[in-house]
């Protein structure tokens, strides 16, 4: 009984419980006919939210006020430039990934340069950077929808043993993020900075260097997600990252990561990402209009956050 209490005391469990409930509610309407397809779609689309959510989680862990609003623009620019460079050639797939990562590194450094040198809040700095990056993406795209290489398109839309390849990539990135947080000094540094930046400086933690790495890591993950999303959807569109602005923040908050900083939660991002996709699918299945869907989605999200927030966090 005590072990059960400890399980339910973990904030991330509530996003998974909500996802399972919504899955059953959706499948109930179809009589179980679309259960497999729904599960496959949930894993596929949740994976993209997980990838950008991981990056946003690192930034939010740094403490109050830390957030990256340049995520959608970074996704768009990385996807556009990578596809343009690959030019539908299978032999250029690695080169496309490398250029996407390099763009992410450049944008991350630019974000923190604005924060540090101009001494402006991260929300303003990253929003300003997003306008620059999005404008660059528009110039690079020029209204064209460039197709991805056939091999890359096949990889992003295929599965291995019934599990979408995109979900497998997201799992591997999640494991890497967990190692960074739990098994490296960097993970201890960002947690310490999130709990008290003043105390972190007093103990000799390189605060500025750690924050620079964190914003860069967030931008790199957004760039990789843009590279994969453009390949999955058959081309880079100028609005392809738009829905991931709020999504990247929502999955972090719903997943149980402390908005006040210092405490991150990787399993919760998976639960929240699955939940966010499934709740929209459920409301569509039940035939609710767009306005009602938005209202109900907001109420359901609030209920999950309240359920998680009312429990003591256990690490």
CATH of the domain at 190: 1.10.3470
Who contacts 261 (Cβ-Cβ below 8 Å, separation ≥6)?
A: 60, 61, 62, 63, 64, 66, 193, 194, 195
Rounded-to-integer distance, Cα 310 and Cα 115, Å: 34
pLDDT at 310: 47
Rounded-to-integer distance, Cα 60 and Cα 214, Å: 10
Residue 305 within a domain: yes
Report the pLDDT averaged over residues 86-97: 90
Residue 31 within a domain: no
Residue 52 within a domain: yes
Rounded-to-integer distance, Cα 236 and Cα 9, Å: 42
Closest by CA to 101, choosing from 236, 222, 231, is 222
pLDDT at 51: 95
Residue 288 within a domain: yes
- Return the CA Rg of the chain: 20
Domain ranges, residue 101: 14-22+36-309
Residue 217 within a domain: yes
Residue 315 within a domain: no
Residue 236 within a domain: yes
Residue 9 within a domain: no
- pTM for the predicted model, two decimal places: 0.88
Rounded-to-integer distance, Cα 9 and Cα 188, Å: 23
State the total domains in the chain: 1
In the predicted structure, residue 224 carries a pLDDT above the cut 80 = yes
24-55: b or e for each residue (b if 16 or more CB lie within 10 Å)? ebbbeeeeeeeeeebeeebbbbbbbbbbbbbb
- Write down the mean pLDDT value for the chain: 85
307: number of Cβ within 10 Å:
16
């Amino acid at each position: 009984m005590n072990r059960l209490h400890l399980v339910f005391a973990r904030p991330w469990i509530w996003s998974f419980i909500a996802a399972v409930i919504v899955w059953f509610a959706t499948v109930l309407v179809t009589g179980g006919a679309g259960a497999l397809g729904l599960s496959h779609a949930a894993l596929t689309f949740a994976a993209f939210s997980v990838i950008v959510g991981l990056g946003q989680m690192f930034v939010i862990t740094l403490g109050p006020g830390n957030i990256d609003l340049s995520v959608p623009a970074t996704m768009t620019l990385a996807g556009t430039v990578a596809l343009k460079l690959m030019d539908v050639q299978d032999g250029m797939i690695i080169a496309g990934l490398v250029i996407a990562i390099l763009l992410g590194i450049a944008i991350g450094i630019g974000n923190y340069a604005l924060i540090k040198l101009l001494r402006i809040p991260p929300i303003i700095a990253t929003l300003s950077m997003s306008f620059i990056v999005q404008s660059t993406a528009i110039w690079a795209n020029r209204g064209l929808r460039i197709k991805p290489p056939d091999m890359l398109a096949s990889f992003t839309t295929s599965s291995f043993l019934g599990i979408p390849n995109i979900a497998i990539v997201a799992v591997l990135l999640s494991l890497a993020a967990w190692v960074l947080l739990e098994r490296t000094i960097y993970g201890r540094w960002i947690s310490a900075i999130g709990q008290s930046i003043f105390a972190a400086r007093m103990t000799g933690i390189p605060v500025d260097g750690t924050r620079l790495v964190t914003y860069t890591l967030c931008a790199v993950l957004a760039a990789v997600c843009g590279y994969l999303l453009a390949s999955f959807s058959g081309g880079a569109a100028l609005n392809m990252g738009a829905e991931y602005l709020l999504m990247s923040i929502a999955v972090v908050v719903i997943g149980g990561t402390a908005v006040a900083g210092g405490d991150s939660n990787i399993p919760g991002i998976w639960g929240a990402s699955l939940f966010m996709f499934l709740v929209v699918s459920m409301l569509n299945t039940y035939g609710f209009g767009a306005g009602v869907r938005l209202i109900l989605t907001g109420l359901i999200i609030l209920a999950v956050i309240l359920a998680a927030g009312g429990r003591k966090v256990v690490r």
